[in-house]
Amino acid sequence: MKPKNMDLGIKPLSVLAILCFATATYADVTVNGLFTDHMVLQRDIPVSVYGKAEPKEKVIVTFSGQEKSAIADKDGGWSVKLAALKASTNSATPAMFKRNGLYYVLFDTTTCFGPGGSGAQVYTATKPLGPYTFRGNINRDEKGVPIIAAQQTYVAQLPTSRGPVWIWMGDRWGSRPDGVKGHDFQYWSRPLVFNEDGTIQKLKWADGIGDKNFILPKNAQ
């Protein structure tokens, strides 16, 4: 009987590890329904992956250089334990804009549908190709935890009577009330506040967005 090989394509992340894979579809080998696309797992601990197969079937699971195998029991159950997942340097959803002669690039580690959200590292340069200088992270607090539990999607420039403003936008994964992936809410920040040196002040939660949110603070540039 030929062993069934399942490549889960799991992507580890900085605080969490995320399963980003299409569940293998074999006639007699399946992964437990708990393991769905973009599932979030804790990093730095062993991870058990399990499912069903034909009794006594050999199943091989490969992941990021690891290869684990198991023999299905008499009821068809199988399980393998992957080594602890390490942090990843993967980044996603970069946003770029120009303001007052400075080019800004904002991005952070991939969350891949993670409800915890991502940060928003800020880099600036006087030329679009750099070199860029790190100017802080506007969506992580002193402990490194995202301030707004959302994954950055875009920084939008909006015209106002006082000139253009920029708002930070993020997807709030897991916020959907109907349980349907893709129905999640988005977070739109109040206008970003720029300091005189070009740095951006950290984000602050706002319950809603409306005209009052576009009245810039006195120190906004």
d(CA 7, CA 24): 8
My answer on whether 63 and 114 are in the same domain is no
Residue 219 lies in a domain: no
Using alpha carbons, select from 155, 138, 156 the residue that is nearest to residue 147.
Answer: 138
Indicate the length of the chain as a whole number. 221
Residue 169 lies in a domain: yes
Residue range 86-109: mean pLDDT, rounded: 83
d(CA 199, CA 154): 18
Q: Residue 14 — very low, low, confident or very high, per pLDDT cuts 50/70/90? A: very low
Q: Which of 129-133, 134-138, 210-214 is least confident?
A: 210-214
Strand partners, 155: 168
Residue range 143-147: mean pLDDT, rounded: 88
Residue 181 lies in a domain: yes
My answer on whether 165 and 74 are in the same domain is no
Task: Work out the mean pLDDT of the chain and round it to a whole number.
Answer: 77
Q: Domain boundary at 22, 51, 82, which?
A: 82
Q: Which domain holds residue 60?
A: 4-82
Strands (E), the chain: 4-7, 11-12, 16-19, 30-31, 39-42, 47-52, 58-63, 66-71, 77-82, 91-99, 102-109, 121-125, 133-137, 151-158, 165-172, 185-188
Residue 175 lies in a domain: yes
My answer on whether 160 and 203 are in the same domain is yes
Residue 96 pLDDT: 94
My answer on whether 133 and 51 are in the same domain is no
DSSP-derived 3-state class of residue 34: coil
Answer yes or no: are the C-beta atoms of 131 and 114 closer than 8 Å. Answer: no
